[in-house]
Amino acid sequence: MTTNETIKCLMTRRSVRGFDPERMPSDELIKEVVTAGEYAPTGRGMQSPRIVVVTNKVVRDRLSQLNAEVMGTTSDPFYGAPVILLVLADKERPTYLYDGSLVMGNLMNAAHSLGLGSCWIHRAKEIFSSAEGKAMLKEWGIEGDYEGIGHVALGYALNEPAEAKPRKEDYAVWVR
């Protein structure tokens, strides 16, 4: 394994599917994670994504309920995480989907580097294309043609993440 701390962090991050709902990360830690997301690469440096930081339990629980409805379940798709980082991206930019995905990756890797757990939760596209989702965006002062890229469930993990599965043999193809 490498001795480079950044690469070690990238290699050891795992999705967390069980969070301590009673243990809220500090605003300072959340801000560090968000700042890392803000520095993700974007097409032509145009910064098409927006990050919505949800620490309000009522809003968090409503997002969970909406997400569960899209998924066709009643369980909490956010696994008890007390913080949700919603990533949206401006569809006016041709690279919006890639930009938002890179933000998601930065958020999750930064969380791991700070001792927090995270998990990419899908269905943001469906939630924020609905009338209620659009009303939420308007209430939060977000105007424009934004698409939900994903939610990052964020918090302290209840358990240690599992070891990485072995990488497949043909993951990388070298052309020399």
Note the pLDDT tens digit of each residue in 104-135.
999 999 999 999 999 999 999 999 999 999 99
pLDDT at 52: 98
- Residue 175 is assigned to a structural domain of this protein: no
Based on the structure, what is the number of domains in the chain? 1
Strands, E, within the chain: which ranges? 49-54, 83-90, 117-121, 146-155
Within a domain: residue 54?
A: yes
Which pTM was predicted? 0.96
Say which CATH number the domain at 139 has.
3.40.109.10
Look at residue 42 and tell me if it is in a domain.
Answer: yes
- 160 within a domain of the structure (yes/no): no
1 belongs to a structural domain? no
Give 22: exposed, middle or buried? Use CB within 10 Å, 0-12, 13-18, 19+: exposed
The string of pLDDT tens digits covering residues 20-66 is: 988 999 999 999 999 999 999 999 999 999 999 999 999 999 999 99
Tell me the residue range of the domain where 32 lies.
13-155
